[in-house]
Structure 1
Amino acid sequence: MSRPLCLLFDCDGTLVDSEPLLAAEMATSLAAIGLPFTAEDYIGEFRGARFRNIVAELQKRHGRIDATSLKETEAGMRARLADRLVHELTRLPGVLEALVALSDYPCAVVSNGPESKIRTCLTATGLSDYFGNHLFSAYTANCWKPDPGLYLHAAHSMGFKARQCLVIDDSIVGVRSALAAGIPVVHLNRFPDVETTPQGAITISNMHQLPTVVSRLSHQEALAL
């Protein structure tokens, strides 16, 4: 594993604690149109997945929903979520300290969410300055994790080869995306009782540990030279 030159961060569940808010709004919205879904379902089965993929799977299980109703439901859900993110969102523990310690590295955010949501999350939690305009949304790239294309697009746009980057992602979907792209990846495993880190990824349990991992990777390559 080569020394990382660029850090690619997932957003939801990695930098910010948005997933409980997203899960709650998703559960309320989907149940209202006849798709049984709870916040626990999101955390346990669908964490990190694209909303439309979640809806497609639920329709397989519970029956199809009118497309217009789905579109209106998604728009309402995202509007309510955006308001909650502005007023309720917090950083995950250790994130600010890690970004300060790693400020010499080019950093980007790579998310399955819309760019507007990424910007809202970073602004609400005071993290915007650490990433600038280096924000890569699946909705802009038209490529969603676990497809490796989103992380490859971000790496190349940042001016680096895949192996020169390091992905930090909390979801299995994101970790698999990075592994398929050939990018070294750190799995922020905050749910070790229910999630197993895929083979080939590095595991940490909190963001306080990230600077040590990056330092160790750099030191290992120096020793190999």
Structure 2
Amino acid sequence: MTGNAGTAPALVIFDCDGVLVDSEPLSLACLTAGLNRIGVPIDLETVRSRFAGTSMPSIMGHIERDYGVAAPAGFVDDVKAETLATFDRELKALNGVAGAIRALSVPVCVASSSDPVRLRHSLTLTGLLPLFSGNVFSSTQVPRGKPHPDLFLFAAERMGAAPAACLVIEDSVPGVTAAVAAGMRVVGFTGGGHWGHDPEGADLLRAGAATIFSDYSNLSKVITG
């Protein structure tokens, strides 16, 4: 059973992309352009709806199965390099997130589908990395990424928190699904740039999010439910 609303969690686990940093519009655009270059007939909205919050190995597996296109050698590395270069020019933290995290009185960590290089690059660029005291976990550290629960369970174990006492903040259906499978309470965040079309987060609620929020000024209230 997940933690009860009205009580502070023992640990707050943040996704990164779209939750801490407004990276999804940038990274999804780079991925879409890269897929188009290798002959995959896919548009940005389809990439967003199917792959936001999903690791690159999982994405490329879907592309090969569904479109019959195998990524050429170096493709993933090229997309990653283009994405990091775009981040250097344009990446920003979500409005108010740094102050909201500093105001929390409970332990925090990051658990992301991004590889460690991109993850730390993003958090360093936006000045958020010190807020997590090195407690940053990547899907590369576990056998299965989101929507499987492995990453969230790994983060909770490393942080010494029982899964049922954790709260996850997520912006994607795979992330919400993973948190629910881990036995954790999860809330959906819709303040990122990729959520402009659906601020209500209906798909996150269907996946199991307890509630939806879009403004970090409400974080302390959201955490206690």
Identity over aligned pairs, percent: 34
Could you list the runs of 5+ residues in structure 1 that have no partner in the other structure? Answer: 218-225
AA of the residue aligned to 1:94: G
Q: Which residue of 2 aligns with 1:33?
A: 38
Q: Which residue of 2 aligns with 1:222?
A: none
| Residues 20, 39 of structure 1: 8 Å contact kept | no
Task: Identify which range, 53-62 or 143-152, moves more after superposition.
Answer: 53-62
CA 200–10 in structure 1, closer or farther in 2 if over 3 Å, else same: closer
SS of equivalent to 1:160: coil
Alignment RMSD: 1.8
Matches within 5 A, 1:68-217: 69=72, 71-102=73-104, 104-189=105-190, 190=195, 191-192=198-199, 195-196=202-203, 197=205, 198-199=207-208, 201-214=210-223, 216-217=224-225
The two structures have a TM-score, normalised by structure 1, of 0.87
AA of the residue aligned to 2:122: C
C-alpha distance in 2 between matches for 1:200 and 1:96: 23
CA 106–193 in structure 1, closer or farther in 2 if over 3 Å, else same: closer
Deviation at 1:202, TM superposition (A): 2.4
- After TM superposition, the runs of 4+ consecutive aligned structure 1 residues lying more than 6 A away are none
Deviation at 1:24, TM superposition (A): 1.2
How many residues matched? 212
AA of the residue aligned to 1:99: I
Deviation at 1:58, TM superposition (A): 2.6
AA of the residue aligned to 1:91: A
| Residues 7, 106 of structure 1: 8 Å contact kept | yes
Deviation at 1:95, TM superposition (A): 1.1
AA of the residue aligned to 1:33: I
Task: Identify which range, 8-17 or 139-148, moves more after superposition.
Answer: 139-148
Could you list the runs of 5+ residues in structure 2 that have no partner in the other structure? Answer: none
C-alpha distance in 1 between matches for 2:220 and 2:55: 29
Task: Identify which range, 163-172 or 56-65, moves more after superposition.
Answer: 56-65
C-alpha distance in 2 between matches for 1:37 and 1:97: 38
C-alpha distance in 2 between matches for 1:157 and 1:91: 25
Structure with greater Cα Rg: 1
C-alpha distance in 2 between matches for 1:33 and 1:111: 27
> What's the CA shift string for 1:46-70, capped at 9, x where partnerless?
21122232222233332232x5x1x
C-alpha distance in 2 between matches for 1:87 and 1:64: 31
C-alpha distance in 1 between matches for 2:218 and 2:77: 37
